[in-house]
A and B are shown apart, each in its own frame.
Chain A
Amino acid sequence: DIQMTQSPSSLSASVGDRVTITCRASQSISSYLNWYQQKPGKAPNLLIYAASSLQSGVPSRFSGSGSGTEFTLTITSLQPEDFATYYCQQSYSTSFTFGPGTNVDIK
C-alpha cells in the first residue's frame, strides 16, 4: 500500500492566519490526491480533489497544490469554522489510503 504522511500532526493558529499543511506519499501518485476536513462527530467533508481542484461550495480560501510525492493544503485567512482535522487521501492505487490527519486548533 502507498503510505501517506502529514506534517505537522497538529498546529495552533489564530483567526486570520495563513495555514499550510503538507502531505507526502511513499511513491509518486501524480495528482491523485484529495483533501478532507473533519469536525468532531461528523463525517469527513471533501475540500480539494485531484490535488488542486476546489470542490463545489468550498470557500476559495482553501487551495491545494503539488504533484508526485509532495502536496500542500493552504488556508488563507483562517476562519473560526476552519478549526478541524484535515486528511489527505491518495487515489493513485485502488487500495486507497489516508494520511494520519492534521489537527488545527485555536491558539
Chain B
Amino acid sequence: QVQLQQSGPGLVKPSQTLSLTCAISGDSVSSGSVVWNWIRQSPSRGLEWLGRTYYRSKWYSDYAVSVKSRITINADTSKNHFSLQLNSVTPEDTAVYYCASSVVSTSGANWFDPWGQGTLVTVSS
C-alpha cells in the first residue's frame, strides 16, 4: 500500500523558488511501473496537473506547458522521495499542491492514486 507524505514551506516570496518534497512508503521511487506526479488546486485554476517523473531504465520527466519553463521534478533514490521546484513564483502560484502516484495500465490509461495530504503554499511578501 503506497503512502505519500508531503513536506515543505507554506509561504514563499514572489520571484523565489517553491520547493516541496513527497516521501514515499510502500514502494520505491525507482519502481519501473509507477509514475510520480505533482498536481495543484486553486479556486481560479481548479485542479491542474503540473508534471511527473518516472524511471524506465533511465529517468524521464514531463511537464505541463503552462509551467514548463519554471518547473523541475526529480527523484532522490537515497531518500526514496521526489520533489517539485517551481521558480520565479508569483501570487498566481498560490494553491494547494499535491503529490500523487499513478500506474499506467496495459491499455495506456492511468489514474492518480493515492495522493499526498496536500500543502497550501501562499506566495506573498
Contacts and interface: CB of A to CB of B under 8 A. Distances in A.
Interface in B99-120: 100, 105, 107-118
Contacts, number: 53
Main SS class of interface, A: loop
Contacts of B47: 44, 87, 89, 98, 101
Q: How large is the interface on B (under 10, 10 to 19, 20 to 34, 35 or more residues)?
A: 20 to 34
A98 B40 CA distance: 11
Interface size class on chain A is: 20 to 34
Contact of B112 (A31, A32, A46, A95): A46
A89 B112 contact: yes
Interface string B38-63: 00000000111100000000000010
B105 A50 contact: yes
Is chain B's interface secondary structure helix, strand, loop, or mixed overall? strand
A43 B101 CA distance: 13
A55 interface: yes
A71 to B, nearest CB: 13
A34 interface: yes
A14 interface: no
Contacts of A34: 111-112
A94 interface: yes
Contacts of A98: 46-49
Contact of A49 (B46, B98, B108, B111): B111
Given A50-B105, A91-B109, A95-B65, A43 B49 contact: no
For B46, B62, B107, the residue with the greatest tally of chain A CB atoms inside 10 Å of its CB is B46
B117 A32 contact: no
Contacts of B114: 43, 46
Contacts of B48: 98
A44 B62 CA distance: 22
Interface of B: 46-49, 62, 64-65, 98, 100, 105, 107-118
15 contacts: A42-B118, A43-B98, A43-B115, A43-B116, A44-B47, A45-B113, A49-B109, A49-B113, A87-B47, A89-B47, A89-B111, A89-B112, A95-B49, A95-B64, A96-B49
